[in-house]
Structure 1
C-alpha cells in the first residue's frame, strides 16, 4: 500500500512545481493537510487565490466521507489521547480499508498507529521527492494519474472478498453509486455515501425485527 503512494506523491509533487508553487509547498501540504485527492484540488484553489470560505467548503465536500469511516474505524483499540488524536488525524481511505478487514480485527492499537504513520511518511516523502525531482521526469511518462484508480480497485476487490459471500452489500453499494450518479451528479460521492448508509441501516433494522415477529 505504501508503494502505491509513491507514484501518487511523485505526481502531486510534480504538479505543485508545474503550478508555480515553491517545492517545499508539496511536502508541507502532504504533512499537514494529508488529504490525498483534496490536495490535488487545493493546488488549483491556491493558484487561483480562491477565498478561504470556498476552500473550506471544498475540503468539507471532498472529505465528508471520513464521517462515515468513523462509524466502523477501530479507534477504540488505540491507546492514549495523543494516539487517538493522531489516528483520527491520519485516517485515510487506505488506512480504513486495511484496518477494517477481516485479518485486521486482531490488530493491536500500536500496529494501527504504525500503519498510519508509515502511510503518512510515504505520502509526505514521495510528494517532496516529486517536487524536487519533477524536472527530471520525462514528459512522455504517462499513467501516473491511473495509480489512484488502480489502488481503489484493489481495495474494493479485497473488501468484496472479506464479505464472504454477502452479495447484497456490494449490490447495495453499486445501486447507491448509480442512483447518486444520475440523481446528484454534482455531489455524487456524498450522495452515494448517504444512500449506502441509509440502505445499510434499513437492512439492519429489517433484519433485527424478523426474529421478534417470528
Structure 2
C-alpha cells in the first residue's frame, strides 16, 4: 500500500518561517541563508496581501471615474421621438452573433431643426412608426450610458488586472531573490566542502599534489 504524502510535511508552515525569520526557533542548525529565504517568502506573502486593499481602492476609484465619465460623455442628452422612414433592417454582430435592428429615421433636434439618420429600432418596425431615441445638443444620436452594473464590472476588471500585475511583480522579485540565495548557498557549500572533505576522507593537500 502506497502512503499518501502529507502536504504539511513537504511545505513548511507559516509559523516555521516566522520563527526562522525572527530568530525565534532556537535552532542552532538553521543557517543565516535559511533565515533570509524565510524573510523573502514572508515579504512576498505580505506584498500580495497588501496588494488586495490597494487594488480594491483602485477599483473603487475606477468605478467613480467611469461613472463620472459616463455622466459627461454625452453633451446634454435629450429624449426625442423619431419617425421611421424605412423598415427595420436586421444586422448580426460579428463575433457575438447578436442581432440588432436599424432603420433610417427623421426627428426634430433640440434646437428645432430637422435631422435624419440611422438609428436603432425594435424588430418589426415599419415606415411611419415612432421610436424613442436619445440625441445630444446638436441633434446627433447618442447611446445611453452604461448602467451601474456594467460600470462596476469594468471597475472590477481593472482591479483584478492591477492585482494580477502586482502579484506577478512580487512573484518575479521573489524568484530573483530565491535564485540569488540558492547561488549563495551553493558557493558556501562548495567552500565548506573544500575545507571539510580532506578531513572526512583522510586525504591531505600533499596527497593531492602527489596524486
Band the TM-score falls in, shorter-chain normalisation: under 0.3
Which protein has the bigger helix share?
1
Structure having the higher Rg: 2
TM-score by length of 1: 0.22
TM-score by length of 2: 0.22
- Which structure has the higher relative contact order (CA within 8 Å, separation 6+)? 1
Which protein has the bigger strand share?
2
